[in-house]
Amino acid sequence: MSKNHRGAGIRELPNSGRGTCPICKIDNIKVLYEKEIDGQTVKICKYCNAAMKNKARKAVPATEAAAE
């Protein structure tokens, strides 16, 4: 079976959701994830979003260990 609606939400965005990621500076990449960086809400790419989540996840156990 075909996937008729795959990517339908990003087709309506300007340039089909593609642009330059402000963190890694890769051009013509999908920038779909909104994050707040330095008080501003910016759209970042999938890879930078995952890197930020992993960095935050690793920082939490370190602070819990320091509290004990």
In angstroms, the CA 28 to CA 36 distance is 21
Closest CA to 31 of 40, 22, 39: 22
Question: 16-28 pLDDT, tens per residue?
Answer: 999 999 999 999 9
In this prediction, residue 65 carries a pLDDT of 65
Q: Which pLDDT score is estimated for 47?
A: 97
Per the CB < 8 A criterion, the answer to whether 31 and 44 are in contact is yes
Q: Which residues pair with 63 in a beta bridge?
A: none
**Segment holding 36, helix H or strand E:** strand 29-37
Share of the chain above pLDDT 70, in %: 90
- Residue 47 corresponds to which tokens in the numbers above? 């890879």
Instruction: State yes or no: pLDDT of 61 exceeds 80.
Output: no
Q: Residue 3's pLDDT band (boundaries 50, 70, 90)?
A: confident
